[in-house]
A and B are shown apart, each in its own frame.
Chain A
Amino acid sequence: MLNPLRSEQEAFRFLIYVVVVVAVIVAVVLVARAL
């Protein structure tokens, strides 16, 4: 299981996931607001 606190490698991968997930959430919210 991914544990961002176990190694830098996993922390870096976690960062990528966070960026993607946050971008998707922001996109959904902005689209929902525009409708």
Chain B
Amino acid sequence: MSLPARVATLLVGFLAVAALAVFVVVHYFLASPQTVDFTAGVTPDTGASVNVVMQEDPQNTVSTHPDWVSYFIQNPTTKQWEHTTIFKVPAGSVVNMTILGYDGCTPLRNPVFGKVSGTIGGVAYVDGKPVTQLNSWSACNVGHTFSIPGINLNVPMATPNLNEANFLCGTSPCTSGPVRKVTFSFHTPKTAGTYFWQCRVPCGGGFVTGFGGPMQTIGFMTGNMEVVS
């Protein structure tokens, strides 16, 4: 093989390895679900309100893990449901949260997280009715929770009735099927930063303690609230 040919082969091989390395880093290590932005047109630290709409589904048919439960966030501009659990809100504002609960019930491991905390007025509304706590052990009425430990926020998500359990939505993002509408409001911190949120129901079926899989994967049952000032 001539010298130019050998040099060219070496160069091609090097570029191929480098391209593979870049692909792995970008595709696997730096990959993150998109962030849904709720800051447009809102001035931070003015107490202005933003409306965040989410849904929790019994499955996720738009991902490579169709049997994992998952949250979705509605894009405020396009109204499309985004498969992500990261959203951005202004500091010092009020978030009016609406979560559509399409999933069925699973008891909380620790029933203390059936108590609503950290919301304005210490209350959440299930289909318009105020609730301050849900007992997931006496009645199978909690599917998930929406909890941000950094601001002591915890809201149990009510579920469709037991007689509706066999008719749960089967395609994500859900647009039909039995659903409970949970609404509540909370103040965002005045300090900018990233606050993780999680579900406290061990709904990662098939994983140790029910807290693997979707429970520890951003984009499914946990994510970040990015507060910007």
Tell whether A and B belong to one assembly.
no
Q: CB within 8 Å of A: which residues of B?
A: none
